[in-house]
């Protein structure tokens, strides 16, 4: 370096990667956690706002939140996946409601004689409708119970594939109540028309059915 043309102290220090703390070109900040990261970002934003208000735009600090940008991208991807899963769940709920309605309707057609007997011994139209609504409600409860039981082997499979016990498939209590209420409503809605048809059946005609 000493024999090189134009060798000076400043040039040698620059070649060696010397840092001048009085004139930094870049500063990297590594917060210990996400709360600290947010606190640092708030401090920088407050400082920039104050500089802009005082007309000192040359003192504004330009910074890039690398972790924030990365987390924002990950969050967007997770949101897209969640929307796709919600769409599949919504379609499955509608299809299951239609299938329950079809099953209930077939049950009505196959049990016309039973309906006639119930009407003959004094059951009202409302009672007949309640019988089929209760059946669809029980079917829904059985489906919910089987789903909860399937979470056990499902979690075991997740633990095996992920190699950790920290990842679990579960349903929060609040969302569980909403989903159960929605499922029960759709199930009852699917069995509403068949149950009304059963209630409106003529008992004399139903008793003659073989």
Phi first, then psi, for residue 27 (nearest 5°) are -130, 130
Quick one: which of 148, 140, 152 has its CA closest to 171? 148
Mean of pLDDT values over 63-84: 83
Q: Where are the domains of the chain?
A: 9-59, 80-208
Six token digits for residue 208: 């003659």
Locate tokens 């409600």: which residue? 137
Gap between the Cα atoms of 197 and 110, Å rounded: 13
Phi first, then psi, for residue 30 (nearest 5°) are -120, 90
More confident residue, 173 or 153: 153
pLDDT for residue 46 is more than 80: yes
Asked if residue 165 lies in contact with residue 159, where contact means CB atoms within 8 angstroms, the answer is yes
CB atoms inside a 10 Å sphere around CB 108: 22
pLDDT for residue 71 is more than 50: yes
If pLDDT is split at 50, 70 and 90, which confidence band does 160 have?
A: confident
Burial call 56-86: b when 16+ CB within 10 Å, e when fewer: eeeeeeeeeeeeeeeeeeeeeeeeeeeeeee
User: Is pTM beyond 0.85 here?
Assistant: no
Gap between the Cα atoms of 133 and 111, Å rounded: 15
**Strands annotated E in 70-170:** none
């Amino acid at each position: 370096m000493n024999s090189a043309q134009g060798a000076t102290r400043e040039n040698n220090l620059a070649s060696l990667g010397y840092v001048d703390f009085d004139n930094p070109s870049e500063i990297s900040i590594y917060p210990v956690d996400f709360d600290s990261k947010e606190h640092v970002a708030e401090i920088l934003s407050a400082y920039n706002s104050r500089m802009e208000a005082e007309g000192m735009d040359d003192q504004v600090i330009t910074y890039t939140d690398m972790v924030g940008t990365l987390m924002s991208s990950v969050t967007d991807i997770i949101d897209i996946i969640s929307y796709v899963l919600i769409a599949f769940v919504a379609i499955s709920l509608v299809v299951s409601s239609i299938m329950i309605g079809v099953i209930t309707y077939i049950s009505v057609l196959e049990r016309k004689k039973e309906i006639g007997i119930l009407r003959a011994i004094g059951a009202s139209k409302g009672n007949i409708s309640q019988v089929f609504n209760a059946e669809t409600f029980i079917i829904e409860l059985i489906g919910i119970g089987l789903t909860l039981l399937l979470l056990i082997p499902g979690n075991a499979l997740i633990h095996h594939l992920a190699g950790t016990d920290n990842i679990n498939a579960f349903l929060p209590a609040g969302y569980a109540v909403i989903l159960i209420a929605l499922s029960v409503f759709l199930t009852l809605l699917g069995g509403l028309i068949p149950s009304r048809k059963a209630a409106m059946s003529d008992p004399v005609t139903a008793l003659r059915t073989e």
